[in-house]
Every structure is written in C-alpha cells, then in structure tokens.
C-alpha cells in the first residue's frame, strides 16, 4: 500500500527554504522567548496560567472580527466594517505573539518548524494587507480597501488551515499524556531498595511511564513524559522541588504534578505511592 501524505507534509518536505525563514523568526523572538527572556511574560504567552495553550483562544478574535468585517462590507455597513477590521488587526498582534511563543521551542522538529514559519509568513502578509486596507478606508478609497481586505481574509484562512494541521495532525499544543490510561489499582513498579535517594528514576506501571524521586522518607511519583512535546523527565534536573524538562526547561512541581513554568501548559499526572512487602506500588491520585 502507498503511504498517504497530507498536503502540508509535502509542503514541509519540498520547501527547505522555510528553514531560513524559521531561523530569522526565531532569532527575532529570542530576546523575549529565548532562555534569557522574562519568564513571567513567557508563561503568560504560553498559557501556562490557563492550563492549555493561549494561542488557539487568541486566534478566535482576529478571525471573528475579520469575518464580521467582510460580511459588513458586503451588506454596506461601512462604519461597522471599518471598526471590526481595526479590532481584528489589533487583536492579530496578540495572536501572533502567542503563536510565536508556542512555536519558538519546536526548532528540532522539521515539520512544525517549517509549517510554523509558513503559517507566520502568511499571517504577517494577511495583517499587512489589512493594515493597507485600514489606511485606504481612512482615505475613503473603499473599493481598493475592500479588495485588499478580501485578499487578506483568503490568505488568513489558508494560514488557519495550516495552523489546524499543526494542532490536529502534528499534535502541537496537545498534552503528550492525554491518551495514557493508567490502571486505577495499586501496581508494583520497583523494589524499594533499588530506588536511590535524590535520583529521578523512570519506571512503568502497566505501560504508563512514571518518574520517581525519593526525598528523605518520602517517595514522589508523577508522569515521566513532559506534556509539552514528550521529553523524558527522568533525564531532567531537580530545582526547588520541581523536575525541569531536559529539552525546553518546563518546570513541574513533583509533589503535585502542577506545571510552574512553560512552555508546557498542562500538568503532569500525580500518583499515590505506598510500600508493600518491600516493593514500591503506585496508582493515580484521586
């Protein structure tokens, strides 16, 4: 049987020049989104405080406003069309910022890197056309303004399709533990004597990866897979009661599984732990 590839997969493979675009975009956003960027701002843009990525929510605003503007143009409501176009253009800046934040740390993944660069390029082009339309509307050149905004809407729609492919085909923004189904019963994972104090240790409970940490007389257990893009957390470090993702630096509180700093936005699953006949047993916390 022939492997079926999506159109966007073909785009990513056939347009290697998108790597150069990605490099330029990443360099431009590094002062804010790089490792030395302000953590609080980054967490805000990621959506860490929200519990899932902020970008999908932010994109609803420009899409909604621009769709309204096009409909109002068609029905002759000029002032309302102009207002919604302006609101869409302003809100698109927020959507762009959150999108850059979600994409910034995916440079080692070829398809997301390239498609994200194409997505950003198309959105920037659409926003530029809307900006020109805004200017022409202010100078009462309505026919040209409507032409530009309609063209911008078409480009934004094509870009939104690519964004959907990033989310629903490639799983960008989807929790990497969403489809794990740990058993609700106590499961033996390791003899207690084999667990070293202070060392992150990976075990499995019925196929579900878990990371253990023994501190003093307490054993903590959370998901071993980073919810961002699936890094193995047993290869991470420990800082102030958190396990730090070895790939992109997300911080998760070991006692609760809560995400403290992004780019991850979803919590780890916490497991209860007990010792039974010298063995460590775990089950998902209630």
Q: What share of the chain in percent tops pLDDT 70?
A: 98
Q: Which of 135, 168, 201 is the last residue of a domain?
A: 168
Q: Which of 168, 203, 218 is the last residue of a domain?
A: 168
* Strand bridging mode 201-205 / 208-215: antiparallel
CATH number, domain at 192? Answer: 2.102.10.10
Residues 93, 203 within the same domain: no
Model pLDDT, residue 286 = 85
176: in domain: no
173: in domain: no
181: in domain: no
pLDDT digits (tens, 9 = 90+) for 62-113: 999 999 999 999 999 999 999 999 999 999 999 999 999 999 999 999 999 9
pLDDT digits (tens, 9 = 90+) for 141-173: 999 999 999 999 999 999 999 999 999 999 999
Residues 19, 139 within the same domain: yes
pLDDT digits (tens, 9 = 90+) for 169-200: 999 999 999 999 999 999 999 999 999 999 99
Number of domains in the chain: 2
Distance CA 285, CA 216 (A): 21
Residues 206, 280 within the same domain: yes
Distance CA 259, CA 213 (A): 17
Residues 157, 210 within the same domain: no
Residues 262, 162 within the same domain: no
175: in domain: no
Model pLDDT, residue 1 = 38
Residues 214, 272 within the same domain: yes
Task: Please check the confidence at residue 5 and state whether its pLDDT lies above 70.
Answer: no
Model pLDDT, residue 142 = 95
Residues 19, 118 within the same domain: yes
73: in domain: yes
Distance CA 273, CA 285 (A): 9
Q: Which of 138, 168, 198 is the last residue of a domain?
A: 168
Residues 240, 119 within the same domain: no
Model pLDDT, residue 277 = 95
Task: Give the domain extent around 28.
Answer: 7-168
Residues in CB range of 259: below 8 A, 6 or more apart: 48, 227, 250, 251, 252, 253, 265, 266, 267, 268
Q: Long-range CB contacts (< 8 A, 24+ apart) of 159-164?
A: 159/118, 159/119, 159/122, 159/123, 159/126, 160/59, 160/63, 162/8, 162/115, 162/118, 162/119, 162/122, 163/59, 163/99, 163/119
The pLDDT confidence band at residue 47, using thresholds 50, 70 and 90, is very high
Residues 132, 207 within the same domain: no
Residues 132, 220 within the same domain: no
231: in domain: yes
The pLDDT confidence band at residue 11, using thresholds 50, 70 and 90, is confident
pTM (two decimals): 0.90
Model pLDDT, residue 13 = 85
177: in domain: no
Task: Please check the confidence at residue 275 and state whether its pLDDT lies above 90.
Answer: yes
Model pLDDT, residue 233 = 98
Residues 162, 204 within the same domain: no
Residues 160, 199 within the same domain: no
93: in domain: yes
Per-residue CA distances from 103 to 43, 99, 147, 170 (Å): 14, 6, 31, 12
How large is the average pLDDT for residues 188-214?
96
Mean of pLDDT over the chain: 95
């Amino acid at each position: 049987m022939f492997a079926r590839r999506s159109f966007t997969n073909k785009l990513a493979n056939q347009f290697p020049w998108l790597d150069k675009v990605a490099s330029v975009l990443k360099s431009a956003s590094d002062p804010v989104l790089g490792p030395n960027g302000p953590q609080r701002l980054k967490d805000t843009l990621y959506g860490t405080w929200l519990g899932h990525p902020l970008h999908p929510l932010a994109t609803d605003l420009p899409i909604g406003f621009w769709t309204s503007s096009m409909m109002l143009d068609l029905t002759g409501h000029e002032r309302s069309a102009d207002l919604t176009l302006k609101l869409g253009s302003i809100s698109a800046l927020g959507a762009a910022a959150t999108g850059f934040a979600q994409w910034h740390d995916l440079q080692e993944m070829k398809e997301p890197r390239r498609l994200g660069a194409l997505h950003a390029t198309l959105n920037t082009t659409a926003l530029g056309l809307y900006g020109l339309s805004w200017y022409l509307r202010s100078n009462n050149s309505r026919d040209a303004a409507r032409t530009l905004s309609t063209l911008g809407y078409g480009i934004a729609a094509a870009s939104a399709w690519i964004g959907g492919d990033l989310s629903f085909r490639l799983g960008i923004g989807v929790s990497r533990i969403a489809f794990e189904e740990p058993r609700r019963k106590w499961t033996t994972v390791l003899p207690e004597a084999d667990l070293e104090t202070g060392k992150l240790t990976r075990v499995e409970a019925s196929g579900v990866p878990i990371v253990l940490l023994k501190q003093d007389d307490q054993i903590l257990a959370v998901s071993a897979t980073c919810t961002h893009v699936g890094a193995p957390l047993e290869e991470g470090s420990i800082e102030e009661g958190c396990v730090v993702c070895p790939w992109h630096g997300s911080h998760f509180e070991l006692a609760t599984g809560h995400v403290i700093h992004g780019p991850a936005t979803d919590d780890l699953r916490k497991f209860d732990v007990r010792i039974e006949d010298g063995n460590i047993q775990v089950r998902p916390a209630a």
